[in-house]
């Protein structure tokens, strides 16, 4: 077996690109997948966390962090081109980068709406666009989008977030059909309440209430969503699926 720093090792491994890999669910995917793939994680603001994750995992496999603002087409183009230069191809894509905002619709500005869609929808579009061409040519590839339970059910005071997450379910299901003849699968996970920085805005009391409203009685862990993502990335006959990872729902 060639050493993990050798070129032979690099080119025999498939490459997994993870947006939102600096923190939360995306970072959990990297931790679970290290050693099985060359991993490229994208960060925007959390360079330190991305680098710390790379250091932590570097003894187990190949992982590198690349700057990318997914809401900018140019930034996505530059990042994907750097990943391709380093690893040669991208076999698997996990789009986990996302933002959330809790606001009454009546107070929601056009700028709030645009920001939400720029990251949560445009970001997924730009990444897919840059990565899918190689996959379609090679007739092989797998993509997973991280949507949300609210993309399916809608959430009060999270209309822009819910709409953005519904949009990528539609995109994923459509691309599953369009890409299937070329052997490229596209699936979506819809997490419920997961214990990451995204839930930091909630008070302890609110989180307790949320946990009590979930049939399994607790928030999910990033690792539990990562397991579902990896399962879908590696499956062979699942495409166009929307997999809830939500402890039974939020009521």
Sites for ligand NAP among residues 219-248 (CB under 6 A):
none
Which of 98, 141, 172, 244 lies at the binding interface for ligand NAP (CB under 6 A)? Answer: 98
The residue range among 69-77, 125-133, 136-144, 206-214 that interacts with ligand NAP, by the rule CB under 6 A, is 69-77
Report in angstroms how near the CB of residue 123 gets to ligand NAP at its nearest. 6
Catalytic site includes residue 161: yes
User: Quick one: angle between helices 24-33 and 222-234, nearest 10?
Assistant: 60
Please tell me what DSSP assigns to residue 106: G
Sites for ligand NAP among residues 34-53 (CB under 6 A):
42-46
- Residues 169, 188 contacting (CB under 8 angstroms): yes
Using CA atoms, how far residue 41 sits from 27, 38, 82, in Å, is 8, 10, 12
Residue 22 sits in the site that holds ligand NAP (CB under 6 A): yes
The residue range among 3-11, 98-106, 135-143, 229-237 that interacts with ligand NAP, by the rule CB under 6 A, is 98-106
Query: What is the CB neighbour count within 10 angstroms for residue 203?
Result: 8
Residue 198 sits in the site that holds ligand NAP (CB under 6 A): yes
Alpha helices per DSSP H over the chain: 7-12, 24-33, 47-57, 73-87, 110-117, 123-138, 149-153, 159-179, 204-212, 222-234
**Which residues of this chain interact with ligand NAP, rule CB under 6 A?**
19-20, 22-26, 42-46, 68-71, 96-100, 119, 146, 148, 191, 193-194, 196-199
């Amino acid at each position: 077996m060639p050493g993990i720093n050798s070129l032979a090792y690099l080119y025999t491994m498939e490459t997994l690109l993870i947006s939102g890999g600096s923190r939360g669910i995306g970072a959990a995917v990297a931790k679970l997948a290290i050693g099985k793939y060359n991993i490229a994680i994208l960060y925007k603001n959390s360079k330190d966390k991305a680098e710390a994750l790379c250091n932590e995992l570097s003894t187990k496999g190949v992982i590198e962090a690349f700057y990318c603002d997914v809401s900018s087409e140019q930034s996505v183009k530059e990042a994907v081109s750097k990943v391709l230069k380093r690893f040669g191809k991208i076999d698997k894509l996990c789009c986990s980068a996302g933002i959330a905002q809790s606001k009454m619709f009546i107070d929601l500005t056009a700028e709030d709406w645009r920001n939400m869609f720029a990251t949560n929808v445009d970001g997924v579009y730009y990444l897919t666009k840059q990565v899918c061409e190689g996959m379609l040519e090679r007739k092989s590839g797998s993509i997973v989008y991280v949507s949300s339970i609210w993309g399916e059910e809608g959430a009060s005071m999270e209309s822009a977030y819910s709409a953005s997450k519904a949009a990528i379910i539609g995109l994923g299901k459509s691309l599953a059909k369009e890409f299937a003849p070329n052997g490229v699968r596209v699936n979506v996970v819809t997490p419920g309440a997961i214990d990451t920085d995204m839930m930091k805005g909630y008070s302890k009391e609110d989180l307790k209430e949320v946990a009590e409203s979930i049939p399994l009685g607790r928030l999910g862990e990033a690792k539990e969503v990562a397991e579902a993502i990896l399962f879908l990335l590696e499956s062979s006959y699942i495409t166009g699926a929307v997999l809830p990872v939500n402890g039974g729902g939020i009521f």
